[in-house]
Amino acid sequence: MKQNITIMQTLTVRDLRYDFAKVEAWLADGQEIEITKHGKPVALLSPPRSGRGPQFDVEAHKRWMKETWGDRVFSAEEVREMREAELGDFS
């Protein structure tokens, strides 16, 4: 019985950045790609299950924003404070 063995492609983060054409070709061929950084796996890229990836629904996002924030407009200071609270101060 013949087995169909698929070897996963592996690229570094640098390869991903500088040779995306190769990545795109492998994905178009249906291959999964492991991304490594300093020799350790950090991500797995795979082609979309359908012909196209998920589509961003702009109108649904606008509705969500309106439901979440209403007509509120944040000042630059408020945005800075929110970012610091979430991520820490990186400035």
18/12 Cα distance (integer angstroms): 10
In this structure, what token pair is assigned to residue 64? 């969500």
> 3-state DSSP call for residue 46?
coil
Q: What is the mean pLDDT of the chain?
A: 83
62-72 burial, b if ≥16 CB within 10 A, otherwise e?
A: eeeeeeeeeee
The domains located in the chain, with CATH, are 9-45 (3.40.1620), 58-87 (no CATH)
Average pLDDT over residues 66-88: 88
Residue 11 near residue 36, CB atoms below 8 Å: yes
> Which pLDDT band holds residue 54 (cuts at 50, 70, 90)?
low
* pTM, two decimal places: 0.47
